[in-house]
Amino acid sequence: MNTNKEEKRSWLCSKCKEKLEIGLVKVKYLSGNFEVELLKCPKCKMVLITEDLALGKMLEVEKGLEDK
C-alpha cells in the first residue's frame, strides 16, 4: 500500500511535459456531482486519473471543455 506516496510524486503531462498541479475538478459519479482534488495540467487541462480513481471507472471527469 503506497498510494499516498504516489500522490506526492510529481507527475508530468505526457503531452506538454508540464508539471501537473493539484486542483479541484468536478466529477460526476452516479447521479451526483463532486469536486475532487486531482492532478491536472495547467496548460492543456488534461486531468490525470490515478489508480485510486480508476477503481470507480464510472467516474466521468468534466473537463474544462464543454461538449454539450
C-alpha 61/C-alpha 32 separation (Å) is 12
| CB of 14 or CB of 31, closer to Zn ion | 14
The answer to whether residues 20 and 47 touch, using CB atoms and an 8 Å cutoff, is no
Stretch that binds Zn ion, among 7-15, 21-29, 30-38, 59-67 (CB under 5 A): 7-15
* 37-66 positions binding Zn ion, by CB under 5 A: 41, 43-44, 46
| Site membership for Zn ion, residue 19 (CB under 5 A) | no
> Which of 51, 28, 25 is closest to 40 using CA atoms?
25
Q: Which amino acid is at 52?
A: D
Site residues (CB under 5 A) for Zn ion?
A: 13, 15-16, 41, 43-44, 46
